[in-house]
Structures are given as structure tokens and as C-alpha cells.
Amino acid sequence: MDFWGTVLVVFRRWYVFLPVFALSVAAAAGLYSTVPTTYVSSAVLILTTPTTGGSLPTNPDIPNGLTNPMLNFDHGLSISASILIAAMGTPEMAAEIGVRDGGEVTFKVTNGGSNLESLATGPFLFIEGEGHSAAAAQDIVRRVIARAKTELDLRQKAVRAPSATYITTYEAVPPTTPLAQRGRKLRAVAAAAGVGVMASLCATFMAESFLHRRRLRRPPGTPEHTRVAAALNGRLPADPAVRH
């Protein structure tokens, strides 16, 4: 059936289409109220080397010169960032931070992209936390930052790095003000509305088919049966109003 044929069926059986569609709209409104609004907060950490560099002087009487950590980035910091990102993304780490499957908060730590093969692209850690409240979203970001700093120290201690050469972190972007995310609610409503339209059309065409079959089951010889049979054979329209 073409578009205009569908429109004609809907127009003819409006008393079926409209109630079902109204119920679908009510269901979509109820779904919108049940899907919680989530909030997102983010932060950016930068790994930096100490001002005296990443090595101790061989002669204590001649210490290393001081440098600006923001001007002293090398590939080692990128590798350390990638190791830290991988460690923070494990289920065990999430459990330690207090995040449960299906809980009210989630987080992710990335290098700014989703390609796992390009983790070592810079000394950056992009942290994003999501929660059912603004306070929860910002709190999980703070907890992840604190745990990332602890994990970085533990891993440097594990390889027996001199404490004076420890890599440190700098909060380039502190936890941001949480923003409401309503995309999930709107997607759910759009899906419910789409299902509602399909259900309304299905109900309309089922009613049309049922009434059509009922007319055909009338005893032969009646005016209604004659009109329907003639319309099916292409000789007369089923609607007596358009007969000559």
C-alpha cells in the first residue's frame, strides 16, 4: 500500500488510530519521567617530570639544573600516561573506587580518544564521571583523580625509582561543574513514540482488515455483499456514494 492509501485508511479508521496513539503518547510521557537525568563532570590531568629532571646527578656536588616541568615533556611521560590509563580502566580498579555495575555513577579515563592503539599520544589523562546527581558526578571525578595519583606513585615505587625523580600530576582542568545530560531520556521517548506510531498503524489496519472480512462473510445476494464482491473484481467501487 502506498502513502496515500495508508493516509486514507488512517482517516477512515481514525477512531482506532487516535486512541492507540494517545495511549502511546501517555506511555512515552511516563517513560520520560522514569528515565533519570544524568550529570557529567570532567577533568584533565597532565603528567610532569620534577624540576630537576628524571635522573639523579652522578656527582652530589654538582646537582642537576632546574627546569620548567611544563617545558620538559618526553616520550616517557606518554608511556606512563598510557600505562596509567590502562590500569584505571580495569574492573578491579572500578571496584576499588566504589563503582558497581548498574550503580548510580560511572567513570572513564582516556587520552581524549577511543582508539586503544593510540594511548601513548601525550602525557594527558582525560577523566569523565557520570552520576544521577551533580554532586555524585563531581565526587567520582575527584575520587578517580586521587586514585590515579596513588596508582602512579605505587607503580614508580614498584620499579624502585628514586623518589626525587617521581613523575607528578598537574590538574590542568579541575573537576568541572556537572552538566545535565538529557540525551538518554530523549532517545527513550523517541523510541517509544516510534513504537507507538507503528502500534497505531497496526491496530488501524487490523481493524480495517477485520471489518472488510466481516462484510465479505455476509450472505450472498445482499446489497453490501454485491458491492464488495464487485469492488474486488474491479467492476464497481465498494462505496455506494460514488456509484453512478
Average pLDDT score over the chain: 81
Residue written as grid cell 577523566: 127
pLDDT by residue (tens digit) across 54-77?
Answer: 888 888 888 888 888 888 888 889
pLDDT at 145: 96
Using a pLDDT cut of 90, give the percent of the chain over it.
37
pLDDT tens digit string along 123-166?
A: 999 999 999 999 999 999 999 999 999 999 999 999 999 999 99
Residue 144's pLDDT is what? 96
Determine the pLDDT at residue 218.
61
**pLDDT (tens digit per residue) in 26-47:** 877 777 777 778 899 999 999 9
Give the model confidence (pLDDT) of 208-237 as tens digits: 787 777 776 666 555 555 555 555 454 444
For the ranges 19-28, 48-57, 231-240, the lowest mean pLDDT is seen at: 231-240
Q: Check pLDDT > 70 for residue 51.
A: yes
pLDDT bucket at 23, cuts 50 / 70 / 90: confident
Residues 6+ apart with CB under 8 A from 35: 184, 185, 188
**84 or 73, which is more confident:** 84
